[in-house]
Structure 1
Amino acid sequence: MFAAVRSAWALFVGLGMIMLGNGLQGSLLGIRAAAEAFPTETTGLIMSGYYLGFLAGAVVTPRIVGQVGHVRVFAALASTASTVALLHAVFVDPLMWGAMRFLTGFCYAGLYIVAESWLNDRSTNETRGSMLSVYMLVVLGGIAGGQFLLNLSDPNSFVLFVLASVLVSLALVPISITAGSPPDFSAPSPVGILALYRASPLGVIGSLGTGMANGAIFAMGAVYAGLAGLEVSEIAIFMSMLVFGGMAFQWPIGRLSDKLDRRRVLAGVTFSAALVSFAAPFFSGGHVVGLYAIAFLLGGMSFPMYSLCLAHTNDYLTPKQMVAASGSLMLVNGTGAIFGPLVVSLLMGRTGADGFFTLVGVVHAAIGVFAIYRMLRRASIPIEDQGPNVPVATSMNAATATLSLDAFRDHRDRDLAAMSVGKRRRR
């Protein structure tokens, strides 16, 4: 494992810098929008532009890569994202920020695709699962670390925008000097949404709702924290605790879903997220430590939900269908993420800061109710026929889908081999 990680150190360093810049810029815009007295609804509209651009980038980038190559695409997108980060400080205008947020999402989608496809190419059957685990730590750790960079300067100045730009630009260095030939990459054509819904209604609805909830959390979490009276340093801790919670609970929840009926685990986790959300207003009145705990638990229950939805969907598909289905679920999840900031900003504009938790709680409760409905409509598959849960980020694209599917196959093959050995021993 360590040799494989060392061979991909440049990729991980580049990804880490990208995520540091992304984490910093996302929260910085929420704080700065409040300082500029943008209406909450306007801020939600601006933030949703990122997810709209991300979906567009995920669709367009693979075609461009096939024409001009990985390195050139990565360089062009990183340069554009770096420039856009600086322009936020020059043009402080909602319309300009919305357009630049769209460009940022487009660029980051392409950056992820290039870096992740290279990571997939560096992985072998023996190291793929470990590489995916390290990748998730880098992604989530980078987002969390980006929050603490908010403390380096006044958000009302241009300094933090420059820092976000520098981080994205520096990501070019390790990626560009990576040895070896560029990998082959072709994104699978997504399977039809209706066909996917017929195979796994809960997987589709759960992915849509999870995208909406997590999109609202990432896009408007800093805005909520500012309205709740937190200082910049406290906002950084609040946002990082959300991510740390997702990191802490991702693996144990995934393992639990491998050993029990996955729909029951999914329902339990999403209802827990709803309960935490509805309890949050009782801890928002000056109880900063309690609010940090709420953020940790909410992230721990909400962020692993996408992996659960993906694993549940894969339980009803053949291996050949899984990558295409993952692409479709990503589109469904991204669509939910577009609407999450819009809806939560409207609710916060009318009911106050606590509308943030209200929206997240209602969405998770709705997913839980639908999960119970599906359990009543269709019998669960035997636990031994369930595939393993593979942790993935909600920003997963076609490259990560391939990596995740290969890790799934490797895990499944090891389980089958172990079962075969056990049967021979019993004989």
Structure 2
Amino acid sequence: MYTAVKAAWALLMSMGLLMLGNGLQGSLIGLRATLEGFSTQFAGVLMSGYFVGFLLGSTLTPRVVSQVGHVRVFAALASLASTVVLLHPVFVDPTLWFVMRVISGFCMAGLYIVAESWLNDLATNKTRGQLLSLYMVIMIGGMASGQLLLNVADPGGFKLFILISVLLSFALLPVLLSVAPAPSFASPTPMGLRQLYLSSPLGVTGCMAVGLSNGAVVGMGVIYAELIGFPLADISIFMGLILLGSVVLQWPIGHLSDKYDRRWVILAVTLLAAVMALAAVPAAQISANALLVVAFLFGGLSFPMYSLCVSHTNDNLEPKQMVSASSSLVLAVGLGAALGPSTAAAVMGLIGPNGLFWFLAVVHAGVGVFALYRMTRRAAVPLEDQGHCVAIPPAASPVAMAMVQEASGGHAQGQADEAGVAEPAAAGAVESKV
């Protein structure tokens, strides 16, 4: 593990700086949209633009990397992302801001793919899960710390935009000055989303719901906090605690899902997340501290659902299918994330700021109901056939998802190999899935 971390330090430092800038940028754009008089509904559409760009970047970047190379793509995308940020205070126009959010999402998706390709190249079967866990801590830690940078300067000015640009530009240096060779790159042939759904309906539906929830929280959380009258310091803490909760509770929840039927853990966690979302409504009336506690617990329950649903999907795939399924899972999450902010904004427009948490409660309760239904349709995957639940950052590219599937699937496959069990036929595997 030490050798892998030593080899990956430059990459991890670059990603930490990128997430500092990106975390600050997402919250700043949402906050600034309200300050500029954009409606809540349009602010939701604006924040959805990032995830639309992210989906496009996840699809198109692998083709560009194969033609141009990792280093050039990384430098070009980071430079473009840094430039686009500076245009926001110059051209305060809703349509242009939407276009710029799409471009930002495209750039960040490409940067993740390039970075995670390097990370995958540096990992071995023994260190892949540990490196991914460290990567997740750096990614979410950077994003959470970025929220606190909202307090550095007035969001109504231009200084924070300059700070974001500086962070994104500095993120280039560790990678460009590193002597690590660029990895080989091969984009897996995707498994169709329909085929993946037939293999694991709960896993795919859960991933899409997680995208809806996470997209709404990341896109509209800062707008919600501003609308209920939080001062700037509390807004940054509110967003930071949601992300911090996901780091703190990720491992205990993942450990439980390795020990018990993962569907029951998904059911319990998603229903508790729905309860926390409902609790946020009265908590906001009680005190700021009460809402901050609920926000921490909600983040700790909601964001780990991503890892649970991906791991559950892996449990219902043959090892040779796992890498091919990565792009389809990213598509499912991305579709949900692209719809999340705009849908939550529409609900907030109808019933007020608390509409955000009513929306989140309905999404998580819906996953719970569907999990109960699926448990009546298929038998549980035997515990000995379950893979490990590997922590996943909230914005994983197909490369990271493939790494997760290799890391989580290796456990079950290794047991099968030791027992001399042959792989089941594809048709039979689908019939026995959840």
Question: TM class, shorter-chain normalised?
Answer: over 0.9
Pairwise CA distance, 1:409:
4.5
1:149 aligned residue: 149
User: In the alignment, which residue of structure 2 is the partner of 1:337?
Assistant: 337
SS in 2 for 1:317: coil
Question: Is the counterpart of residue 393 in structure 1 residue 393 in structure 2?
Answer: yes
Q: Distance in 2 between matches of 1:312 and 1:30?
A: 33
The letter for the 2-side match of 1:164 is I
TM-score by length of 1: 0.96
Match of 2:68 in 1: 68
Per-residue deviation, 1:239: 0.2
Report the secondary structure of 2:124's partner residue. Answer: coil
- Structure 1: distance between partners of 2:308 and 2:413: 20
State percent identity of aligned pairs: 52
- Following superposition, the deviation at residue 93 of structure 1 comes to 1.3
Q: Which residue of 2 aligns with 1:33?
A: 33
Q: How does 1:36-185 map to 2 (within 5 A)?
A: 36-185=36-185
Residue 285 of structure 2: aligned partner: 285
Give me the whole-angstrom Cα distance separating, in 1, the residues matched to 2:404 and 2:209: 22
How many residues were matched structurally? Answer: 420
Contact 1:202 1:374 in 2 (8 A): yes
Q: Does 1:312 align with 2:312?
A: yes
- Correspondence 1:362 to 2:362: yes
Cα deviations by residue, 1:386-408 (Å, 9 ceiling, x for unpaired): 11111112321121123223322
Contact 1:50-1:104 within 8 A present in 2 as well: yes
User: Any idea what SS the aligned residue of 2:88 has?
Assistant: helix
Q: Counterpart amino acid of 1:191?
A: M
Paired residues of 2:16 and 2:142 also in contact (CA < 8 A): yes
Name the amino acid aligned to 1:292. Answer: L
Q: Which amino acid aligns with 1:110?
A: G
Counterparts of 1:94 and 1:415, CA distance in 2: 55
Q: Is the 8 A contact 2:246 2:300 kept in 1?
A: yes
Deviation at 1:204?
1.1
Q: In structure 2, what is the Cα distance between the partners aligned to 1:350 and 1:342?
A: 13
- Aligned partners of 2:345, 2:269: CA distance in 1, in Å? 25
**Residue 373 of structure 1 pairs with residue 376 of structure 2:** no
Q: Distance in 2 between matches of 1:42 and 1:270?
A: 29
Task: Provide the TM-score with structure 2 as the length reference.
Answer: 0.94
Deviations 1:180-239 (A, max 9, x none): 321011221221111111111111111111100110000000000001110111100000
* One-letter amino acid of the counterpart of residue 312, structure 1: H
Which residue number in structure 2 is paired with residue 302 of structure 1? 302
Compared with structure 1, are the counterparts of its residues 323 and 139 closer, same or farther at alpha carbon in structure 2 (3 Å cutoff)?
Answer: same
Q: Over aligned residue pairs, what C-alpha RMSD do you find?
A: 1.5
CA separation in 1, counterparts of 2:104 and 2:348? 25
State the Cα distance separating 1:306 from its structure 2 match. 1.1
User: In structure 2, what residue type is equivalent to 1:99?
Assistant: V
Q: Does 1:208 align with 2:208?
A: yes
Secondary structure at the residue paired with 2:211? helix
* 1:346 maps onto 2:346 in alignment: yes
- Give distance in 1, aligned partners of 2:38 and 2:340: 18
Which of 77-86 and 286-295 deviates more?
Answer: 286-295
- 8 Å CA contact 1:150–1:160 kept in 2: the answer is yes
User: Counterpart of 2:274 in 1: which secondary structure?
Assistant: helix
Give 2:61's aligned amino acid: T
Consecutive unaligned residues in structure 2, runs of 5 or more: 421-434
Equivalence for 2:11: 11
**Distance in structure 2 (CA, Å) of the matches to 1:289 and 1:419:** 53
Aligned equivalents of 1:418 and 1:229: distance in 2?
Answer: 59
Partner of 2:188: 188
Asked whether the 8 Å contact 1:215–1:341 carries over to 2, the reply is yes
Q: Is the 8 A contact 2:228 2:353 kept in 1?
A: yes
SS at match of 1:187: coil
Please give the alpha-carbon distance, in whole angstroms, between the structure 2 residues aligned to 1:160 and 1:55.
Answer: 26
Are residues 413 and 315 of structure 1, via their aligned partners in 2, closer, same or farther at CA, if it must alter by over 3 Å?
A: closer
Supply the AA of the counterpart residue of 1:235.
I
* Amino acid in structure 2 at the alignment position of 1:32: R
Aligned to 2:423: none
Partner deviation per Cα, 1:336-376 (whole Å, 9 max, x = no partner): 00110011001111111100100000000001000000001
**Deviations, residues 157-193 of structure 1 (Å, cap 9, x unaligned):** 0000111111111111001112132101122122111
- Kindly report structure 1 stretches of 4+ aligned residues shifted beyond 3 Å: 409-420
Moved more, 327-336 or 284-293: 284-293
Kept in 2: contact 1:310–1:326 (CA 8 A): no
| 2: CA distance, partners of 1:197 / 1:127 | 30
8 Å contact from structure 1 (residues 27, 222) kept in 2: yes
Deviation at 1:413, TM superposition (A): 6.3
What one-letter code is carried by the residue in structure 2 that aligns with 1:214?
N
Q: Bigger shift: 379-388 or 130-139?
A: 379-388
Between the aligned partners of 2:167 and 2:311, the Cα distance in structure 1 is 34
Q: Matched residues in 1 for 2:369 and 2:249: separation?
A: 22
SS of the equivalent of 1:108 reads helix
